[in-house]
């Protein structure tokens, strides 16, 4: 994670405390920043990939948007991942104990860091979550 950022420290703290969930069933994979996920490592192995990115188009720069704007951004993100031929698992990001609404998201299997950063920047996000071969999610700040 970058040491110099334009993002307010409270937002960074919230991003670090967020639970990043792949899926919407009892088979969900829950990602925590900095913590190895054995279930994600197994998902990587089953899909012959060594990385992936958790991305959202919701609430650019951490500013609440309308439901319609968020839905449009989510659909555009889905199209972008499909254009790139990536397998994406729908999920959500939320922080327990806050009023901030869960943000619909995708986990893109096999998406390398630089293209993941470009997508996050395109959707005007403060950060993305990227996971490398160690299956330990990293918060990647974009501003």
- Which helix or strand (DSSP H or E) is residue 131 part of? strand 127-131
pLDDT for res 4 = 79
Is 2's pLDDT higher than 60? no
Query: Who wins on pLDDT, 71 or 101?
Result: 71
3-state secondary structure of 142: coil
Q: What is the pLDDT of residues 55-98, one digit of tens each?
A: 999 999 989 999 999 999 999 999 999 999 999 999 999 877 77
Q: What is the pLDDT of residues 109-142, one digit of tens each?
A: 999 999 999 999 999 999 999 999 999 999 999 9
Instruction: Sketch the domain layout of the chain as residue ranges.
Output: 9-141
How is 15-33 classified by DSSP, letter by letter? HHH-EEEE-SSTT-EEE-T
Alpha-carbon separation of residue 68 from 34, 39, 61, 75 (angstroms) = 33, 33, 17, 11
Place of tokens 């997508």: 119
* Residues 130 and 53: beta-carbon distance below 8 Å: yes
């Amino acid at each position: 994670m970058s040491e110099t950022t334009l993002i307010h420290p409270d937002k960074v703290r919230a991003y670090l405390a967020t639970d990043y969930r792949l899926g919407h069933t009892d088979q969900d994979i829950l990602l925590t920043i900095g913590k190895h996920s054995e279930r994600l490592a197994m998902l990587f192995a089953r899909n012959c990939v060594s990385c992936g990115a958790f991305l959202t188009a919701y609430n650019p720069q951490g500013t609440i948007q309308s439901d319609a704007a968020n839905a449009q951004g989510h659909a555009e993100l889905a199209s972008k991942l499909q254009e790139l031929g990536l397998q994406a698992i729908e999920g959500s990001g939320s922080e327990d104990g806050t009023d901030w609404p869960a943000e619909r998201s995708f986990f893109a299997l096999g998406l390398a860091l630089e293209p993941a950063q470009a997508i996050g920047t395109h959707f005007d996000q403060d950060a993305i979550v990227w996971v490398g071969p160690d299956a330990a999610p990293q918060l990647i700040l974009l501003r």
